Structure 1
């Protein structure tokens, strides 16, 4: 991790020497961790730094839920939050199909809809990067398409809600750092985050993710602190 942060620092210093003051979009393994390093090394405002985070995971979840509930994915509102560093957290308590909570589907028809039946979707998502298709770079193409979409949303100031890695303070169990949560993205970067009231189980899962993120950040910056460029 220290080697990785040193590489990030070298490239960030090169960017800042050019007078860069735009929006930094990050698509790399552990993107939320790298995002915090970039903020520390560059001195850029937090809203100007966006990690791809779980944007792809959320798109996959919505698509598969659409297939499971036999509706168009556009009618599915569900999020994978947390990070790709550890297992993402499906926010089932805030998932809706056509405006109706998924939990109500389970209550009305438990034999057809249940968490057990939805778990394979989450498992498949976690295994996707290591599947044979990934060897043919199909997974990389998905990342590229997500980056194109995110860039377009910024350039056209669409103000769309995406689950991307954004900087938070004293939210979701994180004192300060980047974590993937729903946020409004537009021309100025991160406009605002979307409040989420999670279940006790989801909060417990998210706490595990937060701990993993904080440990990874510190592994790269064991004796450092502050937010000014060059720190």
Structure 2
């Protein structure tokens, strides 16, 4: 019997993540949405592509959360989309109720699952999901850091004219305007980024990374990014299902690491079959630590304003 991965929300991000996981043959997919016919149609479309991709996985669409029972991983993308002029924080109140209801039910019927939260504002929604699940925080995480690092890698590769495969990047902090890309821990085939680009150019790439989601929203006008977020989900699901123990930046629950306690924020972790198996503490400079502390404080402030801590 194959591993079961359920994706809550059959919009662009959810459906594209389902596509990537299904085509890889990594797991059987359950695609859930409240819209009648949408998850069923997209799942059937995937199944009809299976002979062409040479895979034997199954994809099933449903409007009933009961069909997600027994999932190993539950990816939550459900929620209102980000629109032009909206910050991630504007979405908080609208999406809080959705996440609470969905995670409360899926945690009950898949008590051994691991949650990956994509819904924005992602750091806050991850905390909401953890509370709703009653799970160990190691089994609940947010996707943002993988996406932010991928964007940073992309812009560096474009700037230097190199393959993005040869770029490794680290981004910490909240998934928002105060995220903390770390040039000192970012390399091109092992060469530290500060040795390849002047400070001014690096700062410009950091600004573009912080504005990466908003840049796409402004271009699309009626939607938000989904290819890169879905690919980020796939990277995380693969590391969990195959117990790869990849070192990835994710929103993880901190309990004293980096001087932060009691909430989720982006840090490098070892991601494996048990979820967040270890939080890696980097030796930050005073400047890096100050930026991270500021970013984490903004997440904490939002939580406190919503009385979630």
Match for 2:245 among 148, 155, 159? Answer: 159
Aligned partner of 2:183 in structure 1 is 92
Structure-to-structure mapping, 1:178-197, within 5 angstroms? 178-197=264-283
Name 1:62's counterpart in structure 2: 153
Give the superposition deviation at 1:33. Answer: 1.4
Q: Distance in 2 between matches of 1:188 and 1:66?
A: 33
By how many angstroms is 1:45 displaced? 1.0
Paired with 2:205 and 2:124, the residues of 1 have a C-alpha distance of 26
Q: CA deviation at 1:155?
A: 1.4
Structure-2 residue corresponding to 1:229: none
Unaligned runs of 5+ in 2: 1-91
Answering whether residue 21 of structure 2 is matched by residue 21 of structure 1, we say: no
- The residue that corresponds to 1:82 in the other structure is 173
Q: Secondary structure at the match of 2:178?
A: coil
Deviation at 1:19, TM superposition (A): 4.8
How many angstroms does 1:76 deviate by?
2.2
How far did 1:138 drift?
6.2
Structure ranking higher on relative contact order (CA contacts 8 Å, 6+ apart):
1
Shift of 1:199: 1.6
Q: Which residue of 2 aligns with 1:109?
A: none
Aligned pair count? 216
Indicate if the aligned counterparts of 1:57 and 1:80 stay in contact, CA closer than 8 A.
yes
Contact 2:146/2:232 (<8 A) preserved: yes
Query: 1:33 corresponds to which residue?
Result: 124
Post-superposition Cα deviations, 1:150-194, rounded to whole Å, max 9, x if no partner, equal 212221222111111111111123122111111111122111122
1:123-161 CA-partner distances (Å, limit 9, x unpaired)? 222223233334364612321222123212221222111
TM-score by length of 2: 0.63
Q: Does 1:209 align with 2:300?
A: no
Tell me the secondary structure at the aligned position of residue 83 of structure 1: coil
Contact 1:58 1:78 in 2 (8 A): yes
Give 1:126's aligned residue. 210
Q: Cα RMSD (Å) of the superposition?
A: 2.2
After TM superposition, the score normalised by the length of structure 1 is: 0.83
Taking the aligned partners of 1:134 and 1:115, their CA distance within structure 2 comes to 31
Deviant stretches of 4+, over 6 Å: none
Q: Is 2:269–2:279's contact at 8 Å kept on the other side of the alignment?
A: yes
Contact 2:270 2:276 in 1 (8 A): yes
Whether the aligned pair in 1 keeps the contact of 2:153 and 2:167 (CA below 8 Å) is: yes
1:28 Cα deviation from its structure 2 partner: 1.4
Q: Deviations over 1:36-70 (max 9, x none)?
A: 22222221011111100221110111122233334
Q: Distance between the aligned counterparts of 1:70 and 1:85, measured in 2?
A: 27
Query: Counterparts of 1:25 and 1:138 in 2: how far apart (Å)?
Result: 19
